[in-house]
Structure 1
Amino acid sequence: MKRWVATTTAILMVLSMVLLAACGKDSSNAMAEKQVLNVGYITSEPPALDPLKGTDEISDLVMRHVLEGLVRLDENGNPIPGIATKWDVMDGGKKIIFHLRDAKWSNGDPVTAQDFEYAWKRMLDPKNAAEYAYQLFYLKNGEAYNSGKAKAEDVGVKALDDKTLEVTLESPTPYFIPLTAFHALFPVDKKVAEKNPNWGTDAKTYVGNDPFLLKTWVHDKKIELVKNPNYWDAKNVKLTQINFPFIGEEQTEYQMYVSGSLDMSRNVPPDLAVGLIKEKKAKIIHQPALYYYIFNTKKKPFDNVKIRKAFSLAIDREAIVKDVLGQGQTPATGWVPWGIRDFNQNKEWVQTHAPYIQPKANPAEAKKLLQEGMKEEGITQLPDITISYNTNEGHKKIAEAIQQMWKQNLGVNVKLANTEWKVFLDNLTQGNFQVARYGWVPDYMDPMTFMDMWVTGGGNNNAKYSNPQYDALIKQAKATGDQKVRMEAMHKAEDILARDMPVAPIYNYTQVYLLKDYVKGVEIEPDGSFTFTHAYLTEK
């Protein structure tokens, strides 16, 4: 999550899962004889299908259908049994005992508590340098082990036997049990991973435990999943196969949908979206996700806070959502987007504070700050500025619009550079950028999933931002289960983000999607992710 978002729009549901049956479930429609679903969703090669390495929404999509964690989430975002049939919470929330069901890996091995212990410690192992290791810092000594200050046996996860997993947390964490539905906490078949570290790169060696099996992975072309007959709830899985062709062009995907080659399309061409919505041929929904530009705070000129603020102030967010996108998006007013709740005030987070960012550009203030920043840097001319984005028509249009805004409002010449998704992510991780487009989907439905990204040395902190005061506030929020203390600390932390501006929030996501009337039971989880586990096709 969830994850870097590959496209300009992503799917939303604010705190509930819904069934996307075009006219609702219709039991009068007979089941189609052929239960094969063709989905336009994946635009380019998933970077990784191993929980250790996957950090993006495309990898997450596939992993959620071939791997299952301790729990799943219901329509309200609450945990329900997955591999764990039940759990006992003790010691004021600091200890949790998970009781596992009889389940099998796709190679016939039993799924055991040892597989979870192994996978979590593998994620934390400093030798693996996992970007998502921080999601397991909630475990007692998790961060200490990851930083080389403790041993693996000190970490608060232990298989008491094959079917019992004991988890000990540093502090009570209200969202930890739902977090185990996130792919970074999925199990890994210990015997397979120890024998072959690259097990997750090929369909022939891939081992899963979810409703579907990875049948085919033709790199840069397609992924095909088939029903797992050994899944513990296989009787409620109706699809026999899901096909995900990799489609790089939105127009091509749309034509495939119109021609009947696809049953669903998630990437609708922006120039067609508004008309399709008016004609009720497409649907639009909101997602608790944020589109933003990130500054490399370790590279000039964006190591200067006034220059970062100047570039942010020069963006007309209202023009972007209305004139470039026009699909119901709203200008971002802060770092935490719509759809995420403040659990102390019991309302949406965005409603609990004055806007940090105004929808319209402020050229006068932007120019003033730019000049002050350049003076501080001792320069009279900025170096070449480049906006990096992954190949996508929507990203291109946004980048072109911002390129013109920065030229008009700041007098700055800006270049554009696009690369395919996997290369783009690699460049971000390596710091090979000045300004880059980002999108973030929540890993769990709590503001912390947005706030802890920017702690010093964080696995997804590609801005290389560091502020000790910010770090202390996030640490304070994580050290307690008191929602008042947690929320107030995170609000103060967001104040600091607005002051330091390592990222420039741009808009809150929506998604336009197309779904054939005969496709039923597609689910949208609270974080906006599609799930096809209970989907099925009726007669056309």
Structure 2
Amino acid sequence: MISITRIDKALRLRGKPLIVALAAFSLLALAGCSQKASRPACPAGQICLQAGNGSEPATLDPHKATGTWEDRIISDMTIGLLTSDADGKSIPGMAERWTTSADGKTWTFYLRDAVWSDGVPVTADDFVFSLRRILNPKLASEYASLIYFIKNAQPVNEGKLPDTAIGARAISPKVLEITLEHPAPYITELAKHQTMLPVPRHVVEKWGDAWSQPAHYISNGPYMLKSWALGDHVGVVKNPRFYDAKNVCIDQINYYPTNDAIGAERRVLRGELDMNADIQSNRIAFLRKKMPEYVHTHTYLGVAYLAFNSAVPAFKDKRVRLALDMAIDRDFITGKLLRGGQTPAYTFVPPGVANYVPAAAPIWSTWPLERRQVEARQLLAQAGYGPKNPLKIEIKHRNTPDPMLFMPAIQADWKAIGVDAALVQNETQIAYAAYRSRDFQVADAAWIADFNDAMSFLYLQQSSTGSQNYGDYKNPVFDALLARADNESDVKVRAGYLAQAEHIMLEDAAVAPVFFYVNKNLVSPKITGWKDNLVDQHRSRWLCMR
């Protein structure tokens, strides 16, 4: 790993020897992986899955969780109004069916007969309680703004109205009505997202925040929480009271934090892990030759980007942000470093998002790197920075595999235009906590769509979004365009408003998109039922083992 993480642009001239050396190192590493696999004992007659899950979860409370690594566990235990099928598409969950009013603002969900893992019925009141809970300003949920489309959600979350004003009511124990501020057809996508997942009212009211500890955790989905050994694993077991338990194959699952992707790769090859939710990008080609039946990649609705903290004096100047944005050599990062199918990003919304044509990329995106560097130096000079007064900044980044590869390249790109950028790596949770508290100058971030719609990306830069608008970008014209899109029923007209908003954000250099993701998984051929998909959701209820 040392030789990889110290890559800089000087290695372009020595690319072939580096690749050969890495390949040789990989062969030696894998050759040393023939030791006997170590797996926890699986009870006789049961099927057990050992899953590499990326990072250690910060919480298993759906209303506090923010990471995909947390969602993988939570959504195996808890079912929302809708849920994901094996292809990642929305299907009925707790709601067997639903209806929508003519104006698209009132949705009525009819719940199935289902119980929590302690046998208590799941009711519409649990959903009303849960929506009020996540919007309670005292909970300080980072994701609360995602459901501001619900009637009065924003003023309730801001403490301006009581929680009873939220547009959600239980018509009966099995009928839930949700009223919206504006039409939001993507509610069927968000109804399976953690922001709208139910929590058991009778348990949360008894235990408070401690309800999500293993001793008290009650779920309504395929699995129940059994154990959580910090830094080691989270363990779940099959929920016999789940409404579709008879069709759930796997009896027990252990989810392991695997920030070291190469280490996880070896554990998969040895059989210690059955899968891992990531692959170091520059190893995909090698692994396709070494263990092709394990490698799974697919188009993904995700973008890696840099956020500029608007509280930093230098970043109040658009010229500085723009100079840094245009100086990044995205082609080198995706084509020479990552090599996993990622594509350079000059817009923020990825291609392939439903009902959307991305905004035109900035004109400079077509320029050669050398021309961009010249322009970037001129912009910095106009802003007062140069050889006698160099811009000195700090980039805070995640210590996961891909950022460890490409952040030194960005550091070198900025050095080429006279910027002194220091790199500070943090564990993923710590990094994002710093971003949310604005403890950064430049933040290395990534965003995976919560629902298949351009708004899932653009709302991040909305002034009302809160902690996840890391740079605190504010532009009233941008906000107004998103509001117009929210109230537009014509799909094409709505897409036009969103594209205009994205164009404004890109011209402001509010963030610097770097590349569009592919999802990458190592999956043992012993696992059946796995289906690669656009949203990279692989709920364990659909999997089995040979």
State if a TM-score over 0.5 links the two structures: yes
SS at match of 1:196: helix
Task: Find the counterpart in structure 2 of residue 368 from structure 1.
Answer: 378
Q: CA deviation at 1:447?
A: 0.6
The aligned amino acid for 1:512 is K
Alpha-carbon distance in 1 for matches of 2:120, 2:287: 48
Moved more, 85-94 or 398-407: 85-94
Q: 2:344 aligns with which of 326, 331, 343?
A: 331
Task: Find the counterpart in structure 1 of residue 545 from structure 2.
Answer: 537
Q: Assess if the C-alpha contact under 8 Å between 1:104 and 1:231 holds in 2.
A: yes
Task: Find the counterpart in structure 2 of residue 394 from structure 1.
Answer: 402
Q: Assess if the C-alpha contact under 8 Å between 1:445 and 1:526 holds in 2.
A: no
The 5 A counterparts of 1:512-527 are 512-527=520-535
Q: Assess if the C-alpha contact under 8 Å between 1:317 and 1:506 holds in 2.
A: yes
Task: Find the counterpart in structure 1 of residue 422 from structure 2.
Answer: 415
Task: Find the counterpart in structure 1 of residue 72 from structure 2.
Answer: 61
TM-score where L is the length of structure 2: 0.87
SS at match of 1:96: strand
Task: Find the counterpart in structure 1 of residue 299 from structure 2.
Answer: 286
Identity between Structure 1 and Structure 2 (%):
32
Unpaired stretches in structure 2, ≥5 consecutive residues = 1-43
SS at match of 1:128: coil
Moved more, 520-529 or 461-470: 520-529
Q: 1:473 aligns with which of 465, 471, 481?
A: 481
Q: CA deviation at 1:342?
A: 2.8
The aligned amino acid for 1:433 is F
Q: Assess if the C-alpha contact under 8 Å between 1:386 and 1:416 holds in 2.
A: yes
Q: CA deviation at 1:419?
A: 1.4
Number of residue pairs matched? 497
SS at match of 1:119: helix
The 5 A counterparts of 1:132-211 are 132-211=143-222
Specify whether residues 271 and 332 from structure 1 end up closer, same or farther in structure 2 by C-alpha distance, changes over 3 A only.
Answer: closer
The aligned amino acid for 1:229 is P
Q: Assess if the C-alpha contact under 8 Å between 1:305 and 1:373 holds in 2.
A: no
Provide, for residues 205-255 of structure 1, a one-character-per-residue CA deviation record: whole Å limited to 9, x for no partner.
212111011111111211111111100011111000111122231221111
Q: Assess if the C-alpha contact under 8 Å between 2:299 and 2:533 holds in 1.
A: no
Q: Assess if the C-alpha contact under 8 Å between 1:263 and 1:519 holds in 2.
A: yes
Q: CA deviation at 1:467?
A: 0.6
Task: Find the counterpart in structure 2 of residue 92 from structure 1.
Answer: 103
Specify whether residues 531 and 356 from structure 1 end up closer, same or farther in structure 2 by C-alpha distance, changes over 3 A only.
Answer: farther
Q: Assess if the C-alpha contact under 8 Å between 1:296 and 1:435 holds in 2.
A: yes
Alpha-carbon distance in 2 for matches of 1:524, 1:208: 27
Q: 1:235 aligns with which of 237, 246, 258?
A: 246
Alpha-carbon distance in 2 for matches of 1:64, 1:491: 32
Provide, for residues 126-153 of structure 1, a one-character-per-residue CA deviation record: whole Å limited to 9, x for no partner.
2222221112211111112222332222
The aligned amino acid for 2:340 is Q
Task: Find the counterpart in structure 2 of residue 307 from structure 1.
Answer: 320
Alpha-carbon distance in 1 for matches of 2:518, 2:116: 36
Q: Does 1:123 align with 2:131?
A: no
The aligned amino acid for 1:253 is A
Q: CA deviation at 1:520?
A: 0.4
Alpha-carbon distance in 2 for matches of 1:91, 1:537: 46
Task: Find the counterpart in structure 1 of residue 464 from structure 2.
Answer: 457
Q: 2:51 aligns with which of 34, 39, 62?
A: 39
Provide, for residues 190-217 of structure 1, a one-character-per-residue CA deviation record: whole Å limited to 9, x for no partner.
1211222223542112121110111111
Q: 2:334 aligns with which of 321, 331, 334?
A: 321
Alpha-carbon distance in 1 for matches of 2:233, 2:86: 30
C-alpha RMSD of the superposition = 2.1
SS at match of 1:504: strand
Alpha-carbon distance in 1 for matches of 2:260, 2:189: 35
Q: Does 1:433 align with 2:446?
A: no
Q: Assess if the C-alpha contact under 8 Å between 1:217 and 1:224 holds in 2.
A: yes
Provide, for residues 462-485 of structure 1, a one-character-per-residue CA deviation record: whole Å limited to 9, x for no partner.
111101111111111112322123
SS at match of 1:471: helix
Alpha-carbon distance in 2 for matches of 1:170, 1:379: 53
Q: Assess if the C-alpha contact under 8 Å between 2:355 and 2:492 holds in 1.
A: no
The aligned amino acid for 2:216 is T
Q: Assess if the C-alpha contact under 8 Å between 1:522 and 1:531 holds in 2.
A: no
Provide, for residues 399-439 of structure 1, a one-character-per-residue CA deviation record: whole Å limited to 9, x for no partner.
1111111111x112211111112211210111000111111
Specify whether residues 95 and 77 from structure 1 end up closer, same or farther in structure 2 by C-alpha distance, changes over 3 A only.
Answer: farther
Q: Assess if the C-alpha contact under 8 Å between 1:390 and 1:421 holds in 2.
A: yes
Alpha-carbon distance in 2 for matches of 1:467, 1:38: 46
Specify whether residues 206 and 87 from structure 1 end up closer, same or farther in structure 2 by C-alpha distance, changes over 3 A only.
Answer: same
Q: 1:510 aligns with which of 499, 503, 518?
A: 518
Q: CA deviation at 1:354?
A: 4.8
Q: Assess if the C-alpha contact under 8 Å between 1:456 and 1:467 holds in 2.
A: yes
Q: Assess if the C-alpha contact under 8 Å between 1:203 and 1:217 holds in 2.
A: yes
Alpha-carbon distance in 1 for matches of 2:158, 2:495: 27
Task: Find the counterpart in structure 2 of residue 491 from structure 1.
Answer: 499
Provide, for residues 294-344 of structure 1, a one-character-per-residue CA deviation record: whole Å limited to 9, x for no partner.
11112122221110010011100000001110111110130101221335x
Task: Find the counterpart in structure 1 of residue 266 from structure 2.
Answer: 255
Specify whether residues 233 and 379 from structure 1 end up closer, same or farther in structure 2 by C-alpha distance, changes over 3 A only.
Answer: same
Specify whether residues 311 and 447 from structure 1 end up closer, same or farther in structure 2 by C-alpha distance, changes over 3 A only.
Answer: same
Structure number with the higher helix fraction is 2
SS at match of 1:474: helix
Q: CA deviation at 1:267?
A: 2.7
Q: Assess if the C-alpha contact under 8 Å between 1:67 and 1:209 holds in 2.
A: yes
The aligned amino acid for 2:373 is P
